[in-house]
Structure 1
């Protein structure tokens, strides 16, 4: 690799890493928003599960349109557009806070998710194809470190503002019989979110401009040119790539359990009587384990373990940990849930390239299908919230929903990723 090429490659990875940091910061704010909105808008567990539902269902809605948008705009302009849409979602929190309107908060989250879906559709295949496929898991792990490091910081930074003295305020709100005083306390609490989201809006717009005028190279459209680039003569229909569709559902189950472990652990901690002053750091604890897991993934693959082998090992460990969540109590149960961050870290970097390999001209469409799988972050937690109500508020028992998710991922990691896969056939003239 020439010196200029190496410099361009490194610059591209740094810029994309900054993007992953930014949308990681926003994505992992949901864990802080859940207890905040639960009190500010006076919600139960089923209602508050709509926070993650509104955010992640947008991936399902926008995944296919994102692919079409990127064909029009290219990767770089598409990333800028995604950031601008995210900024629009953030600014919607201002009127939502002033009116204390939960539907408007949800709309803002949905719009943020729309922008993120464009970013994900552009950035994930970009990271995959910018270098050798054998090291794709390592590059995705590096991006994951940026994403989860931001996720570690965001609950600490924003949580210190939104969740400060929330326990005391919540008790005062519940105990007061003066409706005017109660409304005043709720309005004060809701207003805490305005300044942080003004700052986030400004940052997103600045980064959108920076990306637009950066030297980030435009990768050739792999959907149109991949066959020519590698001499692939296989013209199979998309429906014949069974492993792609199985991989999309593996992404669905993975994101579902990741969101439960990261975004609902604060709420779970308060359910087990951990004061909010300490519980507000639990998402950061999960993300700290996740960052450690990403470093482990970078070290282990592909030199020591293949990404498939590491995925199987981490899924099995996850099954052991979730049994610990279900059958232990107090701080031990919370720690088992947080430790899932470590095992989860290596799953996305493995599932994504295993699902997208060998797609050739179908790569962009396949990427869009995988992005649709992120909607698992909407559906699985919503099922969890409904189970919590069904089990009369037992939020611990509701975590059993994670077991079938892990079992499905284990099937994909064992046999599913090979179903329908064929080694690319190259033209003799290539």
Structure 2
């Protein structure tokens, strides 16, 4: 039976202790979606081995995830406006768990398309969770500490980025490596048995994850949470056409599209990149992938600190320029320096998403809500741009050249933060500020 508290937001914000357990539950969502996202760098080399895929084909792992966000962004928002955020979280957890359990039949059938389908279902659930979690954290306690609570909850997303590659690498990746020639020379029965064994390594981790998500869903159903359905009080209804008359919003959508594409390219192909450019093993590469996740988390804290002294657009411009330079090192360097360059990129790109987001919705007035949705939908860049990386890698035979895609992406972010970030309430082309 649903238990949704009918208290007002003022009452909610004044009862921090009362909502400590609900806050813990909502914070766990940040960890779990961060964990599942950061298993993708493990899945890409694993599925590449199991299905003998090229880099373009492995990029469909990210495509399946981020296209789901694009498809579900508006339906998730509509569902929660009608049925409330708590019901949206429970539905999201249900989809998350279902997608996790689907990895078992996917492994049994050994069909790559089934793995992609399972990832799509998981990501549909995550679209609901990410839509609901942020507003819930802000109301589960005193209003004056809302920002601190949100930053605290988001830090668990960074913790997951560090732990997922290490844990996933231990239980999913195997030390065995086989060339295409070795596989071709194997007897059919032996090759089939080997690939079945490799594919089955995902069953245990994803089954455990699915069970944990079910437990979290049950706890949400049994816990009283405030109903934070929002009332529409705007006198001038916003439309997509009206929102897009803000030039800085249009550019923020473009910048976010390219930024998310860059993030996915850098982190999802990290293990594959490290093994090729530095010649290290997959198991060793998972540790460096964990360090990249840690750098991402630390970069977000550092960026928040530096913004006390540097304007957000200027910090974004500087970080974009540094990321461009590190991308060049990753493309044209050799050995471990290229791996360290990617870890450096993880640090400097960590503040880009929230900074682009906040600059993009600044000064939108009645168009803020719709503008926010449009920027969130632009994360579909994470579905398409990795395909470009995979294509270039296959075409050239060198995955390092594929990182021309992140270089292009960081260039777009740099241009945005240099010239097109400034809100223009008169809806004229923003003046160039040098």
Taking the TM superposition and a 5 Å limit, the aligned residue runs for 1:281-360 are 281-301=287-307, 303-360=308-365
Offset of 1:248 from its aligned partner? Answer: 2.2
CA distance in 1 between counterparts of 2:69 and 2:182 reads 36
Contact 1:141 1:297 in 2 (8 A): no
CA distance in 2 between counterparts of 1:358 and 1:171 reads 56
- Residue by residue over 1:173-222, the C-alpha shift from the partner in whole angstroms, topping out at 9 and shown as x without a partner, is 53642111011000011111111111111111221232344344333516
CA distance 1:108–1:14, shift in 2 (3 Å): same
Give the match for residue 81 of structure 2: 71
Residue 42 of structure 1, aligned match among 17, 28, 52: 52
CA distance in 1 between counterparts of 2:23 and 2:313 reads 24
Q: Name the stretch that deviates more: 355-364 or 184-193.
A: 355-364
Helix, strand or coil at the partner of 1:418: coil
Offset of 1:101 from its aligned partner? Answer: 0.7
Helix, strand or coil at the partner of 2:84: helix
Unaligned stretches of 5+ residues in structure 2:
1-9, 428-434
Give the match for residue 227 of structure 2: 218
Q: Tell me whether 1:190 sits opposite 2:199 in the alignment.
A: yes
Q: Tell me whether 1:380 sits opposite 2:390 in the alignment.
A: no
CA distance in 1 between counterparts of 2:182 and 2:87 reads 47
Q: Tell me whether 1:152 sits opposite 2:183 in the alignment.
A: no
Offset of 1:234 from its aligned partner? Answer: 9.2
CA distance 1:104–1:141, shift in 2 (3 Å): same
CA distance in 2 between counterparts of 1:235 and 1:373 reads 19
Taking the TM superposition and a 5 Å limit, the aligned residue runs for 1:5-404 are 5-7=15-17, 14-124=24-134, 141-167=151-177, 174=183, 176-221=185-230, 224-225=232-233, 227=234, 237-272=242-277, 273-301=279-307, 303-391=308-396, 393-404=397-408
Give the match for residue 3 of structure 2: none
Offset of 1:396 from its aligned partner? Answer: 0.7
Contact 1:138 1:298 in 2 (8 A): no
Contact 1:173 1:182 in 2 (8 A): no
Offset of 1:421 from its aligned partner? Answer: 4.2
Q: Name the stretch that deviates more: 259-268 or 212-221.
A: 212-221
Contact 1:39 1:170 in 2 (8 A): no
CA distance 1:402–1:37, shift in 2 (3 Å): same
Contact 1:156 1:281 in 2 (8 A): yes
Offset of 1:376 from its aligned partner? Answer: 1.2
Contact 2:275 2:281 in 1 (8 A): yes
Give the match for residue 426 of structure 1: none
Give the match for residue 7 of structure 2: none
Q: What is the TM-score with the length of structure 1 in the denominator?
A: 0.87
Contact 1:261 1:338 in 2 (8 A): no
CA distance in 1 between counterparts of 2:399 and 2:118 reads 27
Contact 1:11 1:216 in 2 (8 A): no
CA distance 1:59–1:399, shift in 2 (3 Å): same
Q: What is the TM-score with the length of structure 2 in the denominator?
A: 0.86
Unaligned stretches of 5+ residues in structure 1:
424-430
- Residue by residue over 1:248-273, the C-alpha shift from the partner in whole angstroms, topping out at 9 and shown as x without a partner, is 22221111111111110100112122
Contact 1:90 1:108 in 2 (8 A): yes
CA distance 1:286–1:421, shift in 2 (3 Å): farther
Give the match for residue 6 of structure 2: none
CA distance in 2 between counterparts of 1:135 and 1:376 reads 33
Q: Name the stretch that deviates more: 5-14 or 118-127.
A: 5-14
Give the match for residue 417 of structure 1: 421
| Count of equivalent residues | 414
Offset of 1:100 from its aligned partner? Answer: 0.8
